[in-house]
Structure 1
Amino acid sequence: MGWTDAYNYLRNGAAKLASNDAPRTDGDLPLGARIGSVVGIQQSPLLRAVADGSLIALPDANETRIVAVSQLRLKQAGGLYRYYLDTGDRDQQEKFLQIYQNASGEVSEIMYCTQLARVIPETAEEQDAYTGQSGSGLGDRSYTLSRQQLDDPALDLELVFGASQGLDYWRDAGDQQAPFVSPFTGTETRLDDASGQTGLRQEMYFMPYVRQLRGGGNEYLLITTEIVHSVNGDRSKRGIHVDFVIGIPVEQQRIVIQ
């Protein structure tokens, strides 16, 4: 069973197979990754980013295995994958590697990403803004992250913000001078076990923003509105939220997946 079959399973809620009979669905992934693979990350780029004021959270000692994988089907060339070290389902603290595979099948970008915050758009106006449907909001030329938005005691806000009350990120897509660019749209299919029996499907509105850290490196702010269509094939578990995720580029030679 492959990605298409897993997609259909999660869409239709098909009857589960016994684990010893179910074929794997997590094959043919970039870098040879599979659910259960052990991930080694040379942390020097992450430590350097933290010292330069990044909001990235370092991986915990027990976050060394891929616990879920997903494929993002966006309207762009190539393929985008996420290898989750923590799905954040319990504490909203996702951690994952985001892998971009170009149209030639080569891995051209890897980011280590950690969830910063999640908000629930409660009104129609907020939902329009976070999906870019109103021609503004997600997709604007810049986004300012204010100090008041963050209350995580693990963050050194003095190091991150200094005397400033906000961090300015600039859109990393489309014409840099355009006041608004429509966000990327598509779907994410996440597999939480190797046989594809558990996971979720969701619709996505996605836009990357970027700022330069004090040391010259880049920190990305990935803002994604996610409309959950089903969880483990159950369509009654629907919802909408907006995730703010911090990403730091990591060179491929600093990643080992076994």
Structure 2
Amino acid sequence: MAWKDAYQYVGKLFNKHDKDELVADDMHAESGRQDASLPLGARIGSVVNLQKTPLIRAISQGSLIAMPDEAETRIVAISRMQLPISGKMYRYYLNRDADGNNGGEKFLQLYCDASGELQELLYCSHLTRLIPETVEDQQAFLGENGAGLGDRNYSLWREQLVSIGWDEASLDSVFSDADSLQYERDAGDPAQEFVAPFKGVETRIDDAAGKLGLQQDVVFMPYRRSLNEAGEQSELLLISTEILRSKDGSSKRDIHVDFMIALPLEAERLLVQ
């Protein structure tokens, strides 16, 4: 599934507004690559050098973030998110393990403004995935009926992490004596009890030629909590309901909810080669 195929799916997401950009795309099409003209010069196979000091500091303060291991230093997939915003959002995957059996998904999320300038950089790691099996569960995680995903607060309970295999020492370092972690919605008016979650389409390619990949509808909301009393360090909990449309060019349907932990990073902490 190439970027040019994705154009047929998501229309204006890949429209070009600049003649030079069109020329660059033509040149890359001739060379058979579909991962062209991306922020930081990234391509599938690029080596990522990420300073780990901010991650280590966050973990020491009780963050749930998972460090990238030695095998997670190359970009193995790249996606674009079609959202109702003026800029563009990209995800550079270091691990695309969807089920969490081999380290779980890890990616860098970049937001660039309409001028192409990088405005936000997040490092994201997989926490867990659940399948909303009932209609009521699906409605809640889609934020339908004015409740559920998009509520002002979200509680992550210690027992939830016990159920996915966290050991007692790790739980104690995160929760201390508390039974839950309290997150606040990181979007909309904080006084509102509910804000409709964001909706978009993610199109991902898993090889440079764009033959492998997936496309899915995404309904998501970010939540935030402080890691220290001064509020100088915080982490995000990204809750995303993903409805798979197609995989590797074939139609496929699936629905799941991903919980990702994210830390904001300074661009100077990252080098892509």
Q: Report the TM-score when normalising by structure 2.
A: 0.86
Matched, 1:163 2:172: no
For 2:47 and 2:99, locate their aligned partners in 1 and report how far apart those are by CA, in whole Å: 22
For 1:22 and 1:104, locate their aligned partners in 2 and report how far apart those are by CA, in whole Å: 27
Give 1:22 deviation, angstroms.
6.9
Distance 1:138 1:224, change over 3 A: same
Report the number of matched residues.
248
**1:219 aligned to 226, 230, 235, which one?**
235
**1:63 aligned to 66, 72, 77, which one?**
72
Partner-residue secondary structure (3-state), 1:134 = helix
Deviation track 1:74-131 (CA, whole Å, cap 9, x = no partner) reads 1222111110000014635100001111122110111110010100001111111101
Q: For residue 152 of structure 1, what is the aligned residue in structure 2?
A: 165
Q: Select between 116-125 and 207-216 the one with higher mean Cα deviation.
A: 207-216
Distance 1:61 1:120, change over 3 A: same
**2:119 aligned to 105, 108, 112, which one?**
108
- Map 1:194-205 to 2 at 5 A: 194-205=208-219
For 2:174 and 2:84, locate their aligned partners in 1 and report how far apart those are by CA, in whole Å: 34
Runs (4+) off by over 2 Å: 8-11, 89-92, 151-155
Which is bigger in relative contact order (C-alpha 8 A, separation at least 6)?
A: 1
Matched, 1:42 2:51: yes
Give 1:230 deviation, angstroms.
0.5
Unaligned runs of 5+ in 1: 12-20
Identity of matched residues, %: 51
Matched, 1:140 2:155: no
Q: CA RMSD in A?
A: 2.0
Q: For residue 27 of structure 1, what is the aligned residue in structure 2?
A: 36
Deviation track 1:159-212 (CA, whole Å, cap 9, x = no partner) reads 100000100111111111110000010100000001110000000101100000
For 1:89 and 1:22, locate their aligned partners in 2 and report how far apart those are by CA, in whole Å: 30
Give 1:232 deviation, angstroms.
0.5
**1:209 aligned to 223, 229, 242, which one?**
223
Unaligned runs of 5+ in 2: 11-29
Deviation track 1:33-81 (CA, whole Å, cap 9, x = no partner) reads 1100000000000000000000000010111000000001112221111
**1:172 aligned to 183, 186, 197, which one?**
186
Q: For residue 261 of structure 2, what is the aligned residue in structure 1?
A: 246
Q: For residue 189 of structure 1, what is the aligned residue in structure 2?
A: 203
Aligned 8 A contact 2:2 2:205 in 1: no
Aligned 8 A contact 1:9 1:197 in 2: no
Partner-residue secondary structure (3-state), 1:167 = strand
Aligned 8 A contact 1:56 1:113 in 2: yes
Aligned 8 A contact 2:100 2:128 in 1: no
Matched, 1:7 2:6: yes
